[in-house]
Amino acid sequence: MKTYHIAVLPGDGTGPEVVAEGIKVLNAAAAKAGFKLDYQKFDFGGDRYLATGEILPENAPQELRQYDAIFLGAIGHPDVKPGILEKGILLRLRFELDQYINLRPVKLYPGVPTPLAGKGPADIDYVVVRENTGDVYTGIGGVSMKGTKDEVAVQSMVYNRSQVERAIRYAFDYARKRHKKNTLALCGKTNVLTYVYDLWERVFHQVGETDYPDIKRDYYHVDATCMWMVKNPEWFDVIVTGNMFGDIITDLGAITQGGMGIAAGGNINPEGVSMFEPIGGSAPKYTGLGVINPLAAICAGQMMLEHLGEKAAAAAIEKSVMRVTGSKLKGMAAGKMGYSTSEVGDMVADGV
Ligand code: IPM
Ligand code: MN
């Protein structure tokens, strides 16, 4: 029987609880579809750091490279200064494993409340392709005269052409494969970031004109993108953007699809190992209460199966999630579902 080897990083806070439900559903889908998943757990996260002083073992990226995929819960601990674990674990893995795409679907499922008045599942269904290795996330910059009135802080928006081009090509390919509106929108800021987003815009049109004449090209400034994601989400099909704008607009997108309880993403290296995660955080105040919504982790598992080529099993998970949101759950927020974390996992697993 075909077996996939999955590295599991449950991480901090509610990460382990939602990962457990994700695995429950993955196993149910695999059993139905006739393949197996073999899991290896790694304890990277805040507790391990506090106990050992080590954020991530030096050889961790190398070790993780041997798996078919990585399934991640959440990183972030209330007793660790913000930034240390995020940079030292999550961002380090994204960079060192060269997961250059952060794929974030924004899809409203039936029965899920959206804050967008008058909009429903037919209106909110698009995908953000967030570049995942460059931008201000490279950490290039510095500080001088710290603590004085003359303190200077610089953190640069860094992109090279090949980074931009591979993200744009991935997004065009994705729009073609998705085959819905056959439209790719570039989200930039060409009126102010006249070097970085000028580069993005030139590559976008050159690549589109030469290799993707079948895909319509749109352009929006990032501020306008936010406005239209609220007012006319049905305009969007696939959006491609840089790392920082992508981070921001996908939180906006997430809240329009029901919030962090349901939003999932994949850190993709099309030529290497990819990592799938619920896009919300570790939610320390809900830890251990059995009230956190596991659907985001379950949907991350679905994306992982899709990526591994198990399309039928992935589709079965999505269908089951839609049945649960459409006919069972009272709400999406922690403690408001009308069911516990594991009951939600059971209902999805039973329906695959
Ligand atoms: C995300 C998160 C991370 C990011 C943080 C935790 C570093 O917000 O995955 O969107 O900024 O990429
Ligand atoms: Mn974010």
The pLDDT tens digits of the residues spanning 122-133 come to 999 999 999 999
pLDDT at residue 33, as a whole number: 98
Domain regions of the chain by residue span: 1-100+263-352, 114-257
- Ligand having the closest approach to the CA of 72: 1
Q: Whose CA is nearest to atom 5 of ligand 1?
A: 86
pLDDT in tens, 291-304: 999 999 999 999 99
Domain 114-257 CATH class label:
alpha beta
pLDDT at residue 88, as a whole number: 97
pLDDT at residue 10, as a whole number: 98
Q: Distance from the CA of 132 to the center of ligand 2, in angstroms?
A: 11
pLDDT at residue 340, as a whole number: 98
H helix or E strand, kind and range, residue 52 = helix 46-52
pLDDT category at 176 given cuts 50, 70, 90 is very high
Q: Distance from the CA of 247 to the center of ligand 1, in angstroms?
A: 7
pLDDT category at 9 given cuts 50, 70, 90 is very high
Residue appearing with tokens 């998970």: 317
1-100+263-352 against 114-257: fold identical: yes
Catalytic residues: 137, 189, 223, 247, 251
Average pLDDT over the chain, rounded to whole?
98
pLDDT at residue 295, as a whole number: 98
pLDDT at residue 324, as a whole number: 98
pLDDT category at 263 given cuts 50, 70, 90 is very high
Residues 6+ apart with CB under 8 A from 66: 5
Domain 1-100+263-352 CATH class label:
alpha beta
Reduce the DSSP state of residue 352 to 3 states and report it. Answer: coil
> Would strands 69-74 and 275-278 be described as parallel, antiparallel, or unpaired?
parallel
pLDDT in tens, 212-227: 999 999 999 999 999 9
pLDDT in tens, 185-199: 999 999 999 999 999
Q: How many CA atoms lie within 13 A of 77 on its CB side?
A: 21
pLDDT at residue 349, as a whole number: 98
pLDDT at residue 212, as a whole number: 98
Q: Distance from the CA of 85 to the center of ligand 2, in angstroms?
A: 14
